[in-house]
Amino acid sequence: MKYLTTHSIAIVVALVFASYMAITAQTLAGVYDDSTEYFDSKKHNKWRNSPNFKNALSILNDVDEDEDINYEEAIAMLENEIKQHPANGYALCDAAVASVNNDAVKMSMLVIELLYGNSGLSMDEADAVFQKRREETRQVALEAVDLLKRGVAQMPAADKENRCKAFIALGNLLHDEIEDNNGALDAYEQAATILPCYQSYEKLMKFYIEQGDNNKAIYYASKLGNLIDNDNETLGYLAQMYLDKSDYDTATMLVNKAIANDDSNKVAYQQLFTILMSQRRYQEALDKLIEKHDLFSVTDFVQNLAAIYGIEDNNKVMVLDKLHQLETAAISSDDEDVKKEAALWSYNEGLLHYIENDYRNALSCFDKVIELMPSATLLSFKANCHYMLGDAPQALKILNCAMRMPLEEEEGIQEKLLSQKIRIEMMCGMTDKQIYDSQVYCKVFPEESILGFEGLVRGYFNKGQYAKALEVCDEWAELYDKAIEPRYMHAYVLKLWGKDDQAREEMQDIINDENCNKERKMFALFYMGETEKSKTLLDGMARDAENPPLIAKTENAKAMPPEETSFYNLACAYSLHGDIDRALHFLERHYAEEESATGFDYAILDDELNNARKDPRFMEIVNRYKQQWLNGELNFRK
């Protein structure tokens, strides 16, 4: 785990950055027409036939697609041209663009070397190489900014087209690489002043879209007029702005233009769906969603269905009736391909029930689908239905079957199935299975192994194997060096092992860490023996949970939510402190109110609830809510 693989974080970051730099370079070199890629003017550039300048442009522009551009040679020629003719602003601007393009090529080559060159670098070493290269890139960008500023100042005032283009290139570089938004805005505004045109107004419009200033973005969009009618990306941005302003008529007009351009435009149809929902035109929204269902992923489609389904009681009947009609029509069709769509509609209905926590009806739908559309994803949903209905053994049996299926065609499903198994095993106290599956998880998914580490630590300390639990904590902390959780678990295991002094010292370090939240501090203080401080913090957290404070506004008017803790954790904390009445109060609120409720079996096994379990009211609460759950009277996820 210590050395680079093709999936290492350092390489992925470098690859993304290299792609970004290549895009930046292309943006800098972008022009108004297809005749040239760099700066020049037959009318205004009196040095256009200078050998160095002419040959440099020949290298930069007149290369076959299969050949690499020799940026180094072109840049050398441009540098000689600038020495010979310092007033050649075109050469200065071309040198800026060529240097950025050349740097993007070097960055891409570095990434290729790290990905495929078997460099043997550790992640820290690769990160150091990457950071150094980034600094070099920034320096290239700063020098390019200087060249562009000098170049545009030397261009003839009459050459508005190239001066506008140079200011746009300058704005792109300041915005994308230097991250100087004020400088970028100034450059774009100068471009628009020199030559009011599509390119300059478009840059200003998109700048203000990014900044969230809808009024100015709309102002510049109005300057573009009908010129944006074929630009679906811009139409989408503008439609969303009008949606945010609840101007549904204008938003609809823009969305319809985008759909007219491309009838497979998913973004436009999603916006149309949002408009119809906002106008309470639910039947139209459902009809359009069904008509264009093939544009959406299963997840997006079902989420949209759920939006219609859950907003009004009448809609539930409308949606289910529509799905049943589609299923019936598909089954009765003579076309075999259409018959297969019956499974699709049953699957969607099952997912809809699943989202609504109606697991019995979800299972009924999934059972109809499984023979026609066998998939590990479907089995994953089916397993969770059984678990949520209290049948953990059947859930694990289904998950084991799912893991024996071909999984390569379902992205991410192997990790999902294994994590499902571990969570169920943890909730049900299946310690040996939990340890085994957690070991597999850490081995197969070393870079996403938080759940695996937690499963191992809890499994080992539940078996009294404290030394092994500590070893796993150390490995966990090494991989996630700034995370609080592995350090807290390390101290907690020491406490369980009876090494109180060492546990206390580590808990104090956690409390002093600025990344430690109130909940962790409260538990840490308790395990340190600072029970009064822990109880004071706990009481304050309980007050906030039951009566959330008004959210203060910061200077920039963004809401800052208070720290939250679950009712379940409050129950555990009060149980530790021996306040059984408060512990049972919050346990009951947990099952009655929280959407993501903890499993009933887990509550029975949780050590932190030991004191509360001695009270007969504990099992009465657990059994009462468990029965309500089995009767379908509760609406939460375990």
CB 235 within 8 A of CB 205: no
Selection from 493, 495, 525 nearest residue 508 by Cα: 525
pLDDT digits (tens, 9 = 90+) for 154-183: 999 999 999 999 999 999 999 988 889 999
The CA angle 58-62-67, to the nearest 5 degrees, is 120
Selection from 96, 168, 27, 49 nearest residue 160 by Cα: 168
Whether residue 81 is predicted with pLDDT greater than 90 in this model: the reply is yes
Given pLDDT bands bounded at 50, 70 and 90, which one contains residue 22?
very low
Selection from 356, 280, 351 nearest residue 316 by Cα: 356
Tokens standing for residue 474: 């150390």
Given pLDDT bands bounded at 50, 70 and 90, which one contains residue 409?
low
Helix then strand then coil, in percent of the chain rounded to 5, is 75, 0, 25
> Residue 268: its pLDDT value, please?
93
Instruction: Lowest mean pLDDT of 80-94, 225-239, 347-361, 597-611, name the range.
Output: 597-611
Burial class of 61 by CB neighbour count within 10 A (0 to 12, 13 to 18, 19+)? middle
pLDDT digits (tens, 9 = 90+) for 175-223: 988 889 999 999 999 999 999 988 888 899 889 988 888 889 888 888 8
Instruction: Lowest mean pLDDT of 185-199, 220-234, 269-283, name the range.
Output: 220-234
Higher pLDDT, 111 or 307: 307
Tokens standing for residue 128: 């150091």
- Residue 261 CA to residue 286 CA, distance in Å, equals 23
Higher pLDDT, 101 or 297: 101
> Residue 37: its pLDDT value, please?
59
CA distances from 309 to 146, 270, 285, 296, 637 (A): 58, 17, 11, 17, 19
pLDDT digits (tens, 9 = 90+) for 537-579: 999 999 988 876 544 434 443 333 445 578 999 999 999 999 9
Tokens standing for residue 313: 């009681």
Selection from 260, 284, 262, 258 nearest residue 273 by Cα: 284
- For 3, the 3-state DSSP assignment is strand
> Residue 598: its pLDDT value, please?
53
Given pLDDT bands bounded at 50, 70 and 90, which one contains residue 595?
low
Residue 213: count other Cβ atoms within 10 Å of its Cβ. 13
Residue 402 one-letter amino acid: A
Q: Which residues of 474-505 are buried (b: 16+ CB within 10 A; e: fewer)?
A: ebbbebeeeebbbbbbbbbbbbbbebeeebbe
Q: Where are the alpha helices (DSSP H) in 279-372?
A: 282-291, 298-311, 313-331, 336-355, 359-369
The CA angle 528-531-534, to the nearest 5 degrees, is 90
Length of the chain: 638
Whether residue 16 is predicted with pLDDT greater than 50 in this model: the reply is no
Burial class of 510 by CB neighbour count within 10 A (0 to 12, 13 to 18, 19+)? buried
> Residue 307: its pLDDT value, please?
85
CB 369 within 8 A of CB 343: yes
529: left (phi over 0), alpha (psi -120 to 50) or beta: left
Q: What are phi and psi of 114, to 5 degrees?
A: -70, -35
Selection from 419, 336, 24 nearest residue 184 by Cα: 24
> Residue 443: its pLDDT value, please?
85
Please write down the HEC assignment for all residues of 573-584. Answer: HHHHCCCHHHHH
- pTM exceeds cut of 0.85: no
CB 341 within 8 A of CB 326: yes
> Residue 32: its pLDDT value, please?
30
- Residue 522 CA to residue 526 CA, distance in Å, equals 6
Tokens standing for residue 218: 């709309």
Whether residue 337 is predicted with pLDDT greater than 80 in this model: the reply is no
357: left (phi over 0), alpha (psi -120 to 50) or beta: left
Given pLDDT bands bounded at 50, 70 and 90, which one contains residue 410?
low
CA distances from 87 to 39, 83, 358 (A): 14, 9, 75
